[in-house]
Structure 1
Amino acid sequence: MTRQILFIGCSLFIYSIATAQQIPKILADPKTNYLPDFSYAGYHFGETSLPESEGKIINATDFGVKANDDLDDSKAILKAIQAANAVEGNVILQLPAGRIILSAVLYLERSNFVLRGTGSGTNGTEIYCPRPMMYLKDPESLAELREYLTTFDKRQRENENNIDLPFSQYAWSGGFIWTQIPGERVKSYLDKYEPAPQSLAKVSSGTMGEHFITVSDVNGLKVGDVVELQLFNKDGENGEIIKDLYKGARVKPGSHHWKFPKLPIVRQQVEITKISGSKITLKTPLTISIKPGYQAQLTEWKHLSEVGIEQLRFTFPDITRVAHHVEPGNNAIFLTRVFNSWVRDVTITNADSGILAEEIANVTIQDIVTDGNHLAHYTVTLGGVHNVLVKNLKIYNKAIHPLSFNTFATKNVYHNCEVFADPVLDQHSGANHQNLFDRITVHIHPDTNMAYALFGGGGADYWKPSHGPYSTFWNLNVQVINPEEIQKPVLLYGMKDGPFARIIGVNGNAKFEVKYEPDPYIEFLNESMEKVPSLYDYQLKKRLK
């Protein structure tokens, strides 16, 4: 039998090693301690493997792309994309092996499109970007972001380093490969640009964790539609939805929770599986309950589907880093407005940000490597996205936010990932909730006090707290560098405003203590997770039985 939890101070727990492996109690009795179902994350809700693409192949070499000639290939690749866009049905744009030089953004703007190289290894396809995006023409789709940055004078100020510089539009947006729907606004920055609501149905009720909503004024909805569910706070600082979102936790929500009543505070991209009168069944469960005062609605969600980016290597020059938020735009991939799509077998070297995402759902990002000497802002980050699965990500380079759930991220999963350099498990404020770090391995070097700040809570104060309830850590494997030097338990800490986190199975090559505030549920500390090594796999297998 496992001995009882020893409670020390505020949210500090130590568990002893069990004499026999057991199923975690949170699985055996989920009604007592709520645990979200994360199994819907990924391509086609995790129910099918990534496809081996079939379709008409357009060879980039037929349009003038020539690898390894030290000449810029941008114009030729753009011609090849134009030709591929003219193909009806599935199309594959095939890039050759060798180094391709790119100094323009490749916009992918249609469904059923795969951009494919010959592999991410040394003999595969390398996309080399000799200069960052700051030297390219300003993207039209970031005009609102640029206006926001100047209107509010967003600057990086570091007095100790004599830095006072304007934020870059590429600090968290943009990429040399960029999926988008032309003219479609992706992220809200300024209230004056919020569109008039185009409601397909008003939603009056629904229960957290369930699949059913009650609607009125249905406007042409049908089974199979993928739409966006939006919930609002129209009631100011004391709005009931804020209390519901944070479940009465001992945290102080920032002002953005009530200053923008036109902006949905909770959103999910959902597929309709059944319509029966005023009752609609959704493929995926609700992240919070819906009440009439939230003025919830279903709206159109414009998106691409079956878009793939695969078998590539990106290389950027190792330029000098100036400061946080002023990155010049050595960003590899920017995913917006895609559903049931994927990125796989991609290596990214010396990027400011490897893969950025906004307003996507049910995408799998798999078999990714980030490396290089350059200090990155992000590696693969998830902001404003739903049900995205990041699988088998290896991070060898240092990054400010190696793994990060950002603003409005819900029900996303980092699965079987490994961080080798200065790991931080970051949750970046902005009503993000119910995300999963699953079977993550981190390599740490504790400080002289045998402590390490593993749990990050980034983001601006106006979007605090760092995350909502039920963010989950499952089977976190912590590998201490030079474990023979460790003489006492290592304290893993860093989160002060992350309510009701589920932390199950922190283990590794030393003994650990965990400090996580406020009010965490902690189980299986210093125990390996032998029976349920992956929560995502466990829940998916159980659902598909």
Structure 2
Amino acid sequence: MSYIKYLTLMVLLSNPIQKLAAQQATVEVLEMNLPDFSYAGYNFGEGDLPSMEAFPVFKVEDYGAVANDNLSDTEAIQAAINAASVKGGIVLFGSGRYLLNEEAGNATGLMVEADNVVLRGTGDGPGGTELFMKWHLEPADPAKIYSTPAMIQFRAPHDSEPLPRLAKDAKEGTEVLTFSAPVNLRPGDFIRIAAVGTFLNEPLLEGKKTREIWSRINERGAAAEELHQVKSADGHTLTLIAPITMDLSADDPWEISKLSLLQNCGFEKIHFRGNFQEDFVHHLDAIHDSGFSGISMSRTFNSWVKEVSFSDVSAAANFSGSLCGTIVRCAVKGNGGHSSFGFHTSTRSLMAYCEDQANAWHGPNASHRSVGSVIFRFEGINRGIDLHGDFPRNTLFDQCVMAGFDGDSVGRASHGANYKNLPNHMGGLVFWNFTQTARPRPDFDFWELYEGHPEKLYGPLTAINPVIVGYRGEGTSFVQESVGEMHSWGIPVQPASLFIFQKTQRGKKIPAYLSQ
């Protein structure tokens, strides 16, 4: 069933008398207090993903990999990656099945640690390329069941160089930072702006009261982080390509540093198949939580996972510590595991046209100080969205068709985060033309603190003053006091996509990969 037909069917079923599919409302977007999400995705939302035609091709067969021969291809694939890493290139797979991690007990997978390296297959469907991971990897720390690395890792080194303190306050929306001493940076360099402390609680909580058991925000304070690329540098002044997303006071302990990011890497047109066959049990062990994880992009810029399907995995793909990461037209299938797709401690990430057909425990995720994330037209048979705490901000769910917020129940929530790291989301959470297909909740309260039930560690998903526009979900309603703004209940709105609207308002061309 196509997306449009499915969307129309859901609306008709939710209210056949009024025939809501034939109705639309128009909202004045520019009159709302909304974050600017238009910078999300590759190259700050401008231009298509690169074809890499200028780079050489390294066929894995030339390094000893043979599809469908029932022999391990891991060493041969790593050799092809190493060759491509010298000056960049496409690691090309033919059709058929290639075998990964054929021996038990390994703690590392395939590694990409150079710019401009793309792993590309012939397609993720029948007759395409399949990478089969027979055995799970071992956790990096046996005491931490979530610490197992992904089978294929793209990562930059942990290089960081502190910059001078700010000399002037910088307001949200500006691209200019002024420092107390000259900064030795060039156009194209990357910086990290970060802080942790109780001084962030007041601006980020927007007047909300916290629970006593939320120890992280109460004792250490909230946290904020965002990554940027330098447009120009002149003495004490930096100009950034994209605006900052919150006010920065020169009197507060902001830490600004130069960092290294892996650039222009991709994983595309491949079916990644794990071997996770058990009925998933949340936090049972390292195998269930992370043993069969597919792809991780760590400390990357302008990198992507495109047209990839994942089957029988603990986790599919995620970006961490990254800027302008893109996951597009990917799907999770087969046996449902721990999670599907996510962004952690990342800035201006985009997930577009992705699907969960496996009923992963955690749905699409933006967490751990991620900011400016966009989940665009996600479809899922899942337990609902995942906002995994640790202070994410400014997340857009745009035209998504999926379950709601609560997981199986309040007691077995799947929206993520240890109670110590709550709330799930700070300000800037937006639901735009969202269609909830399962797990209805009447009188849903985005700030239910369970003050009368201290023994209950978890409640519904907690978010500060979310904006809800064009929401459809039979059986669900929201406590008005817990919502920032709410418009056009049960009726889709125009513009149909906030993300696309904001891009056109900025005068930017819509990339081809965002078209139907």
TM band (smaller chain): 0.7 to 0.9
User: Are the equivalent residues in 1 in contact too, given 2:196–2:223 (CA < 8 A)?
Assistant: yes
Alignment map for 1:293-312 (pairs within 5 Å): 293-312=251-270
Alignment map for 1:301-450 (pairs within 5 Å): 301-321=259-279, 323-325=281-283, 326-328=285-287, 329-372=291-334, 374-419=335-380, 421-442=381-402
Question: Amino acid of the residue matched to residue 180 of structure 2?
Answer: S
- Could you tell me how far apart the structure 1 residues matched to 2:413 and 2:428 are? 15
User: Are the equivalent residues in 1 in contact too, given 2:319–2:325 (CA < 8 A)?
Assistant: no
2:201 is the alignment partner of 1:242: yes
2:147 to 169, 190, 199: 169
Question: Amino acid of the residue matched to residue 376 of structure 1?
Answer: G
Residues 267-326 of structure 1 deviation map (CA, whole Å, 9 limit, x = unaligned): 111122244564433222222211133222321111110101111101122422463232
- Could you tell me how far apart the structure 2 residues matched to 1:491 and 1:476 are? 16
Relative to 1, partners in 2 of residues 1:94 and 1:411: Cα closer, same or farther, differing over 3 Å?
same
Question: Amino acid of the residue matched to residue 243 of structure 1?
Answer: E
User: Are the equivalent residues in 2 in contact too, given 1:406–1:430 (CA < 8 A)?
Assistant: yes
State the TM-score, normalized to the length of structure 1: 0.78
User: Are the equivalent residues in 2 in contact too, given 1:407–1:431 (CA < 8 A)?
Assistant: yes
2:88 is the alignment partner of 1:129: no
1:231 to 192, 195, 207: 195
User: Are the equivalent residues in 1 in contact too, given 2:230–2:241 (CA < 8 A)?
Assistant: yes
Report the counterpart of residue 505 of structure 2 in structure 1.
542
User: Are the equivalent residues in 2 in contact too, given 1:43–1:340 (CA < 8 A)?
Assistant: yes
User: Are the equivalent residues in 1 in contact too, given 2:226–2:370 (CA < 8 A)?
Assistant: no
User: Are the equivalent residues in 2 in contact too, given 1:454–1:493 (CA < 8 A)?
Assistant: no
User: Are the equivalent residues in 1 in contact too, given 2:183–2:237 (CA < 8 A)?
Assistant: no
- Could you tell me how far apart the structure 1 residues matched to 2:301 and 2:273 are? 27
Question: Amino acid of the residue matched to residue 264 of structure 2?
Answer: E
User: Are the equivalent residues in 2 in contact too, given 1:471–1:502 (CA < 8 A)?
Assistant: yes
User: Are the equivalent residues in 2 in contact too, given 1:492–1:513 (CA < 8 A)?
Assistant: yes
Deviation at 1:492, TM superposition (A): 7.5
- Could you tell me how far apart the structure 2 residues matched to 1:296 and 1:390 are? 29
2:164 is the alignment partner of 1:201: yes
2:64 is the alignment partner of 1:64: yes
Question: Amino acid of the residue matched to residue 402 of structure 1?
Answer: G
User: Are the equivalent residues in 2 in contact too, given 1:98–1:124 (CA < 8 A)?
Assistant: yes
Report the counterpart of residue 163 of structure 1 in structure 2.
none
Relative to 1, partners in 2 of residues 1:20 and 1:369: Cα closer, same or farther, differing over 3 Å?
closer
2:121 is the alignment partner of 1:117: yes
**Secondary structure at 1:178 match in 2:** strand
User: Are the equivalent residues in 2 in contact too, given 1:457–1:494 (CA < 8 A)?
Assistant: no
Question: Amino acid of the residue matched to residue 29 of structure 1?
Answer: E
Structure with more of its chain in strand, by fraction: 1
Question: Amino acid of the residue matched to residue 206 of structure 1?
Answer: A
Deviation at 1:543, TM superposition (A): 0.8
Report the counterpart of residue 228 of structure 2 in structure 1.
270
Relative to 1, partners in 2 of residues 1:404 and 1:457: Cα closer, same or farther, differing over 3 Å?
same
User: Are the equivalent residues in 2 in contact too, given 1:456–1:495 (CA < 8 A)?
Assistant: no
- Could you tell me how far apart the structure 2 residues matched to 1:240 and 1:291 are? 10
- Could you tell me how far apart the structure 2 residues matched to 1:291 and 1:116 are? 45
Alignment map for 1:215-230 (pairs within 5 Å): 215-230=179-194
- Could you tell me how far apart the structure 2 residues matched to 1:79 and 1:382 are? 29
Alignment map for 1:498-513 (pairs within 5 Å): 498-507=463-472, 510=474, 512-513=476-477
Report the counterpart of residue 210 of structure 2 in structure 1.
251
**Which residues of structure 1 form unaligned runs of 5+?**
1-15, 151-165, 186-196, 234-238, 482-488
**Secondary structure at 1:265 match in 2:** strand
**Range 382-391 or range 517-526, more displaced:** 517-526
2:4 is the alignment partner of 1:29: no
- Could you tell me how far apart the structure 1 residues matched to 2:210 and 2:469 are? 22
- Could you tell me how far apart the structure 2 residues matched to 1:96 and 1:394 are? 25
Question: Amino acid of the residue matched to residue 106 of structure 1?
Answer: L
2:92 to 80, 91, 94: 94
User: Are the equivalent residues in 2 in contact too, given 1:426–1:455 (CA < 8 A)?
Assistant: no
2:6 is the alignment partner of 1:47: no
- Could you tell me how far apart the structure 1 residues matched to 2:298 and 2:34 are? 29
**Secondary structure at 2:504 match in 1:** helix
Deviation at 1:512, TM superposition (A): 4.8
1:527 to 476, 484, 491: 491
1:289 to 238, 241, 247: 247
Question: Amino acid of the residue matched to residue 199 of structure 2?
Answer: E
Question: Amino acid of the residue matched to residue 205 of structure 1?
Answer: D
Deviation at 1:350, TM superposition (A): 0.9
Report the counterpart of residue 491 of structure 1 in structure 2.
442
- Could you tell me how far apart the structure 2 residues matched to 1:407 and 1:77 are? 32
Deviation at 1:452, TM superposition (A): 10
Deviation at 1:516, TM superposition (A): 7.5
Residues 74-113 of structure 1 deviation map (CA, whole Å, 9 limit, x = unaligned): 1211222222223x2x411101110000006110110011
Residues 318-341 of structure 1 deviation map (CA, whole Å, 9 limit, x = unaligned): 422463232311011011011011
Report the counterpart of residue 428 of structure 2 in structure 1.
470
- Could you tell me how far apart the structure 1 residues matched to 2:405 and 2:483 are? 27
For the aligned residue pairs, the C-alpha RMSD in angstroms reads 3.1
- Could you tell me how far apart the structure 2 residues matched to 1:96 and 1:494 are? 51
- Could you tell me how far apart the structure 2 residues matched to 1:28 and 1:84 are? 47
Report the counterpart of residue 8 of structure 2 in structure 1.
none
- Could you tell me how far apart the structure 2 residues matched to 1:507 and 1:453 are? 25
2:94 is the alignment partner of 1:82: no
Relative to 1, partners in 2 of residues 1:479 and 1:461: Cα closer, same or farther, differing over 3 Å?
closer
User: Are the equivalent residues in 2 in contact too, given 1:452–1:492 (CA < 8 A)?
Assistant: no
Relative to 1, partners in 2 of residues 1:538 and 1:456: Cα closer, same or farther, differing over 3 Å?
farther
- Could you tell me how far apart the structure 1 residues matched to 2:411 and 2:43 are? 36
- Could you tell me how far apart the structure 2 residues matched to 1:354 and 1:40 are? 24
- Could you tell me how far apart the structure 1 residues matched to 2:60 and 2:219 are? 49
Relative to 1, partners in 2 of residues 1:20 and 1:356: Cα closer, same or farther, differing over 3 Å?
closer
**Which residues of structure 2 form unaligned runs of 5+?**
1-17, 102-107, 448-461, 509-516
How much identity, in percent, do the aligned residues show?
A: 24
**Range 472-481 or range 403-412, more displaced:** 472-481
